[in-house]
Structure 1
């Protein structure tokens, strides 16, 4: 069995043309699909039958240290204010050779300050349309 586990260190989030600095967590895309009930009175064996419906790319949550001088964090905030849909990417460490590309709308942005903690920021990106998972080409 070939097991390949890698540390997350080096994973980056690209927001439009800028990387978002000082992230401590990038939530993964949670793809889901609706189903449509097509059960009829003559369905075989008394079991419900379904077909696939619309798919949803889910959301990506971001957490990190607030850096008001970071162009990436500023771009996330600006997109929240404008409501713009922005191209994004999650680039995993080089050893994995994988990445996600997707368009997103910023649906949440917050900062926080707690005693004995660094000033934090969080954001939520709602995936719009079809995301693409880019996988490395397997060796022959």
Structure 2
């Protein structure tokens, strides 16, 4: 199989309770991330072979996750409260494959941007900074 339809992917928000319950964020139209990256540390020295720079892996960054939604104030405005949180909240990115591959991560909301054009639907982009290591199950 060459590819897979992304329809049905969900970004779920944890409620912080024990046991934690996750609820899908309503009306997503696009989800991106996490954008994993890694720093590199320059370890080049005067005796590096053939004058080539050398590197080792440094700290890793979980990047960001963003979700575009058909904005409905009644469905999405409770998420704006997350913007005031300084502690990360748990989220799950659930893919629509048969095993429902899930990326779990803690994140801090860094952006909530509604858009209200005069000739189109209400939309919003919500962005989260990943804190720590995402896990895949």
Structure 1 residues 20-69: Cα deviation after superposition (integer angstroms, max 9, x where no partner): 00110111211110000111112222111111000011111111111222
Alignment of 1:75-114 (within 5 A): 75-95=78-98, 97-114=100-117
Report deviation, 1:96. Answer: 5.3
Give the TM-score normalised by the residue count of structure 2.
Answer: 0.87
The runs of 5 or more residues in structure 1 that have no matched partner are 135-140
Report deviation, 1:4. Answer: 4.3
Matched-pair contact (CA < 8 Å) for 2:85–2:108:
no
Secondary structure of the 1:121 match is strand
Supply the distance in 1 between the matched residues of 2:67 and 2:132 (Cα, whole angstroms): 19
Supply the distance in 1 between the matched residues of 2:54 and 2:96 (Cα, whole angstroms): 42
Report deviation, 1:9. Answer: 1.2
Report deviation, 1:98. Answer: 1.2
Matched-pair contact (CA < 8 Å) for 2:107–2:130:
yes
Distance 1:78 1:109, change over 3 A: same
Give the TM-score normalised by the residue count of structure 1.
Answer: 0.85
Aligned CA RMSD, in angstroms, stands at 1.5
- In the other structure, the counterpart of 1:123 is 126
Supply the distance in 2 between the matched residues of 1:64 and 1:26 (Cα, whole angstroms): 9
Report deviation, 1:83. Answer: 2.9
Q: Which runs of 4+ in 1 moved over 3 A?
A: none
Distance 1:75 1:86, change over 3 A: farther
The runs of 5 or more residues in structure 2 that have no matched partner are 15-21
Supply the distance in 1 between the matched residues of 2:3 and 2:98 (Cα, whole angstroms): 10
